[in-house]
């Protein structure tokens, strides 16, 4: 299905409000979802990603790698001896479909957890349903923060783990003038608010900021403004098929990567493979994982996945690896909850409540040790910066020595602190389900 402005507008009223208001508070609901596992039946999980449309480039791999991960888990005996059964749906890069399929997976399929979404817009489209049912979403990619829910576990980087190192690195290496280009929805805009803070601290200057519709492939006007502004580098939060078009047109219009590179939060190995390595070479990406990481676990992961029936797209990348990790975070959380209350009594919310502090060790995690924060249920990880090479792989040019704590309110300190029970303000008041 073609991704158009009309598709963008076809979403629920709740999602529209969430897109417009990054700090929306949704009051609690009494419609809590009970235990979903029955003796003798597999553990059903919903895989809610786009297999078609403008978001299929990164999201198809999320579906594939989760099937690979659950195959691994099942071959090793499942979870407490019970196999996991993925229920796969195609969200079609349409926010209304994400919302519709979420209800189907929870109410009809009775899944124990949802794994889904690549954009914050789609996440915000489904969260009202997830929270109303007191269910559980594993959101396995980067996002802007400024949320505090009791129904989400995120295995990707927040802004303070993503652009906070990238911006000063690029200013030091290439110069102070920066042009921001992003897709037109909440994640790029909120990410750029964070990037402006890091840019000011680094002594940089914002010389332009443009947003293009999700799925758009027309960058002529934006590139014209970039040419006039003459930035030292471009900071990109363009996603999906638009990201590929942007890099292609950058080179086709005669821009030189050595004098004005693109520093991205999204353009990894899969996007580079889709556009062709010549269009990606020389540009930069901030991510916790790269296929080129040299450790035994990653080598085993890359080799095993690419040789499997799920490795048809020919590469691994950070969004995929974070999705892979989410399966093992789910496994550990369910095992911990089952030990405390019996697997047949475990609810989706109970899995979340038992997941704080869960560690995925070096032997399982291709990027190395990560763990889930006990308060905000985001991930402690080590940020890295890579530069794309001529063969489409990335050379790591900077890596954090220590794990960085996830801080969903890094540029909104007055909003409060995200705790396991809700957003706690300075006056002690607690708000639940803040999106």
pLDDT in tens, the chain (435 residues): 333 333 433 433 333 333 433 444 344 443 555 677 778 899 999 999 999 998 998 899 999 999 999 999 999 999 999 999 999 999 999 999 999 999 999 999 999 999 999 999 999 999 999 999 999 999 999 999 999 999 999 999 999 999 999 999 999 999 999 999 999 999 999 999 999 999 999 999 999 999 999 889 999 999 999 999 999 999 999 999 999 999 999 999 999 999 999 999 999 999 999 999 999 999 999 999 999 999 999 999 999 999 999 999 999 999 999 999 999 999 999 999 999 999 889 999 999 999 999 999 999 999 999 999 999 999 999 999 999 999 999 999 999 999 999 999 999 999 999 999 999 998 999 999 898
Q: Residue written as tokens 């919310």?
A: 349
Tokens coding 409: 């309110």
Mean pLDDT (the chain, rounded): 92
Domains along the chain with CATH numbers: 25-157+294-372 (3.40.50.2300), 159-287 (3.40.50.2300)
According to the model, what pLDDT value does residue 7 have?
41
Percent of the chain with pLDDT over 90: 88
According to the model, what pLDDT value does residue 2 have?
35
Burial 417-433 (b: 16+ CB within 10 A, else e): bbeeebbbeeeeeebbb
Please give the distance of CA 88 from its chain centroid, rounded to a whole number.
Answer: 19
According to the model, what pLDDT value does residue 24 have?
41
Beta strand pairing call for 422-424 and 84-90: unpaired
Alpha carbons 124 and 15: distance in angstroms, whole number: 6
Alpha carbons 144 and 141: distance in angstroms, whole number: 10
Query: What pLDDT digit, counting tens, does each position of 5-50 carry?
Result: 334 334 333 333 334 334 443 444 435 556 777 788 999 999 999 9
Beta strand pairing call for 384-388 and 394-399: antiparallel
Give whole-number Cα distances, 142 to 37, 155, 326, 431, in Å: 30, 8, 13, 24
Helix (H, G, I), strand (E, B) or coil at 394: strand
Alpha carbons 399 and 385: distance in angstroms, whole number: 6
Alpha carbons 189 and 182: distance in angstroms, whole number: 7
Give whole-number Cα distances, 432 to 13, 113, 134, 202, 421, in Å: 20, 20, 12, 35, 7
Q: Are 336 and 354 in contact (CB under 8 A)?
A: yes
Q: Which of 79, 12, 75, 22 is nearest to 45 (CA)?
A: 79
Helix (H, G, I), strand (E, B) or coil at 12: coil
- Please report how many Cα atoms fall inside a 13 Å half-sphere around the Cα of residue 107, on the Cβ side: 11
Q: What is the CA radius of gyration of the chain?
A: 21
Query: What pLDDT digit, counting tens, does each position of 319-332 carry?
Result: 999 999 999 999 99
Q: Are 150 and 433 in contact (CB under 8 A)?
A: yes
Q: Are 191 and 237 in contact (CB under 8 A)?
A: yes
According to the model, what pLDDT value does residue 37 have?
78
Tokens coding 187: 């994640």
Task: Report H helices in 180-286.
Answer: 186-201, 220-229, 240-252, 269-275, 277-280
According to the model, what pLDDT value does residue 36 have?
75
Q: Are 81 and 331 in contact (CB under 8 A)?
A: no
């Amino acid at each position: 299905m073609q991704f158009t402005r009309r598709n963008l507008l076809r979403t629920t009223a709740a999602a529209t409000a969430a897109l417009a208001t990054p700090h929306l508070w949704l009051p609690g609901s009494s419609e809590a979802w009970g235990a979903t596992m029955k003796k003798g039946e597999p553990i059903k999980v919903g895989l809610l990603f786009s297999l078609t449309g403008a978001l299929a480039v990164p999201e198809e791999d999320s579906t594939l790698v989760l099937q690979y991960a659950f195959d691994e888990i099942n071959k090793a005996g499942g979870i407490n001896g019970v196999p996991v059964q993925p229920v796969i749906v195609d969200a079609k890069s349409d926010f209304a479909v994400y919302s519709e399929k979420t209800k189907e997976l929870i109410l009809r399929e009775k899944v124990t957890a949802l794994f889904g979404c690549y954009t914050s817009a789609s996440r915000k489209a489904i969260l009202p349903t997830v929270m109303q049912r007191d269910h559980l979403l594993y959101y396995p990619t980067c996002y802007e923060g400024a949320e505090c829910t009791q129904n989400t576990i995120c295995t990707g980087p927040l802004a303070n783990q993503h652009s906070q190192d990238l911006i000063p690195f690029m200013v030091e290496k290439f110069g102070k003038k920066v042009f921001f280009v992003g897709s037109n929805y909440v994640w790029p805009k909120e990410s750029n608010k964070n990037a402006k803070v890091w840019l000011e601290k680094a002594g940089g200057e914002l010389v332009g900021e443009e947003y293009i519709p999700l799925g758009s492939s027309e960058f002529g006007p934006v590139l014209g403004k970039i040419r006039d502004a003459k930035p030292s580098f471009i900071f990109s939060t363009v996603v999906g098929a638009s990201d590929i078009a942007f890099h292609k047109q950058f080179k086709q219009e005669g821009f030189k990567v050595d004098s004005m590179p693109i520093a991205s939060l999204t353009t990894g190995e899969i996007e580079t493979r889709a556009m062709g390595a010549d269009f990606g070479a020389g540009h930069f990406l901030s991510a916790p994982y790269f296929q080129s990481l040299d450790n035994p676990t990653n080598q085993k992961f890359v080799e095993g996945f690419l040789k499997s029936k799920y490795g048809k797209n020919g590469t691994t990348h950070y969004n995929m690896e974070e999705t892979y990790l989410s399966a093992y975070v789910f496994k550990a959380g369910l095992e911990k909850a089952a030990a405390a209350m019996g697997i047949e009594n475990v609810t989706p919310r109970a899995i979340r409540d038992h997941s704080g502090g869960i560690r995925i060790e070096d032997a399982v995690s291709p990027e190395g040790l990560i763990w889930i924060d006990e308060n905000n249920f985001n991930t402690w990880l080590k940020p890295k910066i890579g530069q794309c090479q001529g063969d489409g792989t990335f050379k790591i040019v900077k890596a954090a020595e220590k794990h960085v704590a996830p801080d969903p309110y890094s540029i909104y300190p007055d909003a409060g602190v995200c705790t396991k029970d809700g957003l706690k303000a300075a006056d002690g008041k607690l708000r639940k389900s803040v999106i």
